[in-house]
Amino acid sequence: MHLLNIIRPYINPAGAFDQRLDDYKRVDLSIVRTIAFAKIRWRYSLDIQNVFNFSNTAWRYYDPYLKAVAGQSQLGIIPVLSVQASW
């Protein structure tokens, strides 16, 4: 028996779209402040993605160590701070 035949997952093309992931849930929050000094306009923003830290499955994969299908979760709360200058 060849090693690749042991670890290669079985794909059933007839049932490729029979299974779906759970609904994707995420609430984002954005705060923006603009301040003008002389000829320069500063824009400060804080974005918080996934404020309520929902756990969303990004994809499923076969784990050969567990010998089962496992789900990979996406990141939790993601803060993004930005500063922009315009003149």
pLDDT of residue 6: 56
Across the range 60-68, mean pLDDT stands at: 86
Report which DSSP code applies to 82: E
pLDDT digits (tens, 9 = 90+) for 23-34: 999 999 999 999
**Residue 29 vs residues 12, 43, 52: alpha-carbon distances, Å:** 41, 17, 10
Average pLDDT, the chain: 87
pLDDT digits (tens, 9 = 90+) for 32-42: 999 999 899 99
Q: What is the model's pTM?
A: 0.64
Reply yes or no on whether the pLDDT at 5 is more than 60: no
- Domain locations along the chain: 29-87
**Residue 38 vs residues 8, 20, 35, 42, 83: alpha-carbon distances, Å:** 64, 55, 10, 11, 17
pLDDT of residue 9: 61
